[in-house]
Structure 1
Amino acid sequence: MEFVVIAIGLFLFNALFGAALTIFSLRKPKNLPPGPTPLPIIGSLHLLGDKPHQSLAKLSKIYGPIMFLKLGRATALVISSAAAAKEVLQKQDLAFSSRHIPDAVTAHNQSLHSVVWLPVATQWRILRRILNTNIFSSSSLDANQHLRSLKVQELVAYCRKASQSGDSVNISRAAFRTTLNLLSNTLFSKDLTDPYEDSGKEFKELVDNIMVEAGKPNLVDFFPVLKKIDPQGIRRRMTNYFGRINEIFEELIEERLGMSESKHDDVLDVCLKISRENPDEINRTHIKSLFLDLFVAGNDTTSNTLEWAMTELLRNPHIMTKAKKELEQVVGKGKIVEESHISKLPYLGCIVKETLRIHPPVPFLIPRKIQIDVKLNGYIVPKGTQVLVNAWAIGRDTTLWDNSMKFIPERFLTSSLDVRGRDFELIPFGAGRRICPGLPLAVRILHVMLGSLLNNFDWKPDGLGHDDLDINEKFGITLQKANPLCVLPVPLN
């Protein structure tokens, strides 16, 4: 144990001494964007706090919407306005298209095969094409609509069982289970967790653990010299989690290959067919990484957004009443919302947009990194800088939004603003060539799940009044509620 402590101390000294030399011996490059003056060694790390999206939003009011920070040995560019985001994500999209790769996702070589982390090059384009053509195209989504409907029915059945026993429902957990099984049925035609029980199977726990580890601040990302010793053990644990999930995917692939004839026609069948016909395009490793991307990126973001939407509706009963009235008129009271109803439910759509505006699922989007010096609005951003687009700050920008801190779905009734990456005032899924490919599926799921929960039950906060519900945030790779929303489903009269 003492040896470990001494080793860590030596590495830390080396990192800190090197950082100090860099700061004190090099002159500041010309034309850097404005930002806080860095302290020796730590730079501006002390300014981030436990909610960096909020801290950086406040700093942007001092230094502007294009802000440069030194974070340990790393550098970061923070974008906090719609105009600056448009410059980065659209006008100079290619220059800003590479990813900043956190040390955690280098575990099990995930970053080398993942469509999320690969650079914009041949392999990335192949994987994006497979996603866009075979999973997230309108025809593919329409073909699997019955699967999503079945999973939403199971969610409603779970809530009905809770209402009969007088138990509360943890909205995020129930939505996470539903989304997990929805994705697993789309990919493999089977559930990976019990849709009616709170006890999670191994796969759910693995995804949970990955999100926890990926969301932790990691010293290695700020002081790369620590990479070899992995002082917090994050990469070591992630290696175990990624490895076990890959084993599960391998078992599912072997099971499918062992069938004389597959009758599923699901995403796994499609990927295996492409792999057989074009083995240079996608192999088994790519398939497993693709599936891991979908589960990790799709579950927390959807379940957290649904939880935030329900929280805001419970805090604003008049909005919930208005939504329920629209659902009763269009769908019929007590019925499951189908995807064909979405276009006929404009107020429900406004609620989803307003939730994504004020509670974007990934507050900084997925960080980017520039590979060469880039000129941006007259500034020079040096090679190797991480780029953070603060979607949380943009969604609450008082110059863009009236009463920006208030939940007002009506603001979208007369607005053409959408979440599909064309309007930079509202970019919860990003924009440009690296926009989230799962956007079309996420939009469908959110409408159907939220609408079905509202249309089948009345809801009461468990042990709290409407005014007592908090909206405190817990920062991570996704933006969670600090205190889980537990509510009582009440049968409709």
Structure 2
Amino acid sequence: MSHMIEVIRRSSSLGPINMSEVLLSLTNSIICTAAFGSKYGGSGDGNTRFQGILGESHEIIIGFGIADFFPSLEWINRVTGFEDKLDKVFHALDSFFEDVIEEHLNPGRPKPEHEDFIDVMLRVQKDVSQAISLTRDHIKAVIMDMFLAGTDTTFATLVWAMTELIRNPRVMKKAREEVWRIVGEKKTVEDEDLHQLNYLKLVLKEVLRLHPPVPLLVPRECNEKCNINGYDVPLKTRLFVNVWAIMRDPQFWENPDEFWPERFTDQQFDFTGQNFQYIPFGSGRRRCPGSFFGMATVELALASLLHSFEWELPAGMRKEDVDMSEALGLALHKKVALRLVASPRVWRKT
């Protein structure tokens, strides 16, 4: 986090900052460090190699594969080269994960201060008392899910959070003053500070309501024929849950298109999916398993941005001029990059 703050501090004298680039780099670094260790969490060759593969993977995921819609026409993917591209990206990811796992298994590897995600899974794999037997393919699959699902969604949420704050100066001021009051004159926000940032948590709840990370949840499939409200749903029907529409439904929300964090003050909504009008991470057994890690990352990053800087729109730009268009992707991204002017906070003793 301190690296991100320093990058913004150096860039602040050069004009408006592309927040999408900064926040994507931050998110990738955090997840790389947690999963692979500090070697891959910086800006070295290992990180650069992985970012390139990750970018190609996202292009494949949001790309059009005709077999997804018409299975009988799967042969067209071979003609267009889509299948070859898919194989190339798969083998690149597999090779990268294989190298990282081998590095973790190397007995001559320097002992890290903290275990990363791969260390934990390799330890579980060796533990014969565990009921689950992990193979190397299992480990690779879990890591791939963690990155493909976690990087994009976390980074998109941070961009939308800064976008809504800059468009709502009252909320920005209130959130910033809370961070300054709780964190005080410390140079960095620490984990223990997050539990006291109650208004910041309300802000993020409202961000997720208006801009859910994945607007259509992971598809479900009916395992039996059923009737819902008079509608016959056949066996094996594929279902898409439109949480974007649910969380803007005026039947459940007052002024649903308004950014108003205070609406959650007396509501006991959380991210566990128990309140079906508010399910940004889904519900039930298929609810996002990385939601708590993702929210901890977003809270720490947003608090750090508010703690270290004051934020403004570029000269001549009004809050009404901020483009709120949404882009197609694995996550709900902002279509037009957010550019802001950062002014390093002036530290004063109170």
The normalised TM-score by structure 1 is 0.65
Q: Which moved more, 1:319-328 or 1:330-339?
A: 330-339
Q: Distance in 2 between the 1:433 and 1:212 partners? A: 28
1:232 Cα offset (Å): 5.2
Distance 1:310-1:235 versus aligned 2 partners, 3 A rule: farther
1:268 is aligned to 118
Could you tell me which runs of 5 or more consecutive residues in structure 2 were left unpaired when the two chains were aligned. none
Question: Aligned to 1:190, which of 26, 32, 38?
Answer: 38
Per-residue CA deviation, residues 134-163 of structure 1 (Å, 9 max, x unaligned), is xxxxxxxxxxxxxxxxxx111111111111
Q: Distance in 1 between the 2:320 and 2:94 partners? A: 45
Aligned residues: 339
Pair 1:287-2:139 in alignment: yes
1:201 is aligned to 48
Question: Helix, strand or coil: the match of 1:344?
Answer: coil
1:161 is aligned to 10
1:176 is aligned to 24
Residues 215, 477 of structure 1: 8 Å contact kept = yes
CA RMSD of aligned residues (A): 2.2
* Structure 1 segment 143-154 matched on structure 2, within 5 A: 152-154=1-3
Question: Helix, strand or coil: the match of 2:312?
Answer: strand
Per-residue CA deviation, residues 43-87 of structure 1 (Å, 9 max, x unaligned), is xxxxxxxxxxxxxxxxxxxxxxxxxxxxxxxxxxxxxxxxxxxxx
Could you tell me which runs of 5 or more consecutive residues in structure 1 were left unpaired when the two chains were aligned. 1-151
1:433 Cα offset (Å): 0.4
1:367 Cα offset (Å): 1.2
Residues 181, 191 of structure 1: 8 Å contact kept = no
Pair 1:311-2:163 in alignment: yes
1:314 Cα offset (Å): 0.6
2:261 is aligned to 409
Pair 1:490-2:343 in alignment: yes
1:191 Cα offset (Å): 4.2
1:205 Cα offset (Å): 2.2
Q: Distance in 2 between the 1:316 and 1:217 partners? A: 37
Question: Helix, strand or coil: the match of 1:490?
Answer: strand
Q: Distance in 2 between the 1:298 and 1:310 partners? A: 19
2:227 is aligned to 375
Question: Aligned to 1:450, which of 282, 302, 309?
Answer: 302
Structure 2 letter corresponding to 1:272:
L
2:327 is aligned to 474
Distance 1:232-1:299 versus aligned 2 partners, 3 A rule: farther
Pair 1:229-2:76 in alignment: yes
Per-residue CA deviation, residues 21-44 of structure 1 (Å, 9 max, x unaligned), is xxxxxxxxxxxxxxxxxxxxxxxx
Question: Helix, strand or coil: the match of 1:389?
Answer: coil
Structure 1 letter corresponding to 2:261:
P
1:333 Cα offset (Å): 5.2
Q: Distance in 1 between the 2:228 and 2:192 partners? A: 43
Q: Which moved more, 1:284-293 or 1:458-467?
A: 458-467
* Structure 1 segment 435-446 matched on structure 2, within 5 A: 435-446=287-298
Structure 2 letter corresponding to 1:359:
H
Question: Aligned to 2:106, which of 236, 242, 258?
Answer: 258
2:92 is aligned to 244
Distance 1:277-1:261 versus aligned 2 partners, 3 A rule: farther
Question: Aligned to 1:344, which of 196, 201, 215?
Answer: 196
Q: Distance in 2 between the 1:346 and 1:233 partners? A: 51
Residues 304, 480 of structure 1: 8 Å contact kept = yes
Q: Distance in 2 between the 1:195 and 1:402 partners? A: 45
1:144 is aligned to none
Per-residue CA deviation, residues 289-340 of structure 1 (Å, 9 max, x unaligned), is 1111101111010000000010011111111011111111111157322221
1:193 Cα offset (Å): 5.9
Pair 1:219-2:71 in alignment: no
* Structure 1 segment 118-157 matched on structure 2, within 5 A: 152-157=1-6
Question: Aligned to 1:331, which of 171, 183, 186?
Answer: 183
Question: Helix, strand or coil: the match of 1:459?
Answer: strand
Distance 1:354-1:233 versus aligned 2 partners, 3 A rule: farther
Residues 397, 404 of structure 1: 8 Å contact kept = yes
Residues 334, 455 of structure 1: 8 Å contact kept = no
Q: Distance in 2 between the 1:261 and 1:374 partners? A: 56
Q: Distance in 1 between the 2:82 and 2:246 partners? A: 31
Question: Aligned to 1:395, which of 237, 247, 251?
Answer: 247
Question: Helix, strand or coil: the match of 2:227?
Answer: strand
Q: Which moved more, 1:176-185 or 1:258-267?
A: 258-267
Percentage identity across paired residues of the two chains: 36
Q: Distance in 1 between the 2:103 and 2:109 partners? A: 11
Q: Distance in 1 between the 2:202 and 2:241 partners? A: 24
Distance 1:387-1:232 versus aligned 2 partners, 3 A rule: farther
Per-residue CA deviation, residues 221-258 of structure 1 (Å, 9 max, x unaligned), is 11111212316544432322222122111111112222
Q: Which moved more, 1:300-309 or 1:168-177?
A: 168-177
Distance 1:462-1:213 versus aligned 2 partners, 3 A rule: farther
Question: Helix, strand or coil: the match of 2:250?
Answer: coil
Structure 2 letter corresponding to 1:241:
V
Per-residue CA deviation, residues 193-225 of structure 1 (Å, 9 max, x unaligned), is 6459xxx81211221222232123432211111
Structure 2 letter corresponding to 1:228:
W
Residues 33, 41 of structure 2: 8 Å contact kept = no
Q: Distance in 1 between the 2:314 and 2:219 partners? A: 37
1:366 Cα offset (Å): 1.0
Question: Helix, strand or coil: the match of 2:72?
Answer: helix
Q: Which has the larger radius of gyration?
A: 1
Structure 2 letter corresponding to 1:310:
M
Q: Distance in 1 between the 2:318 and 2:186 partners? A: 25
Per-residue CA deviation, residues 349-380 of structure 1 (Å, 9 max, x unaligned), is 01100000000010001112223323333432
Distance 1:484-1:193 versus aligned 2 partners, 3 A rule: farther
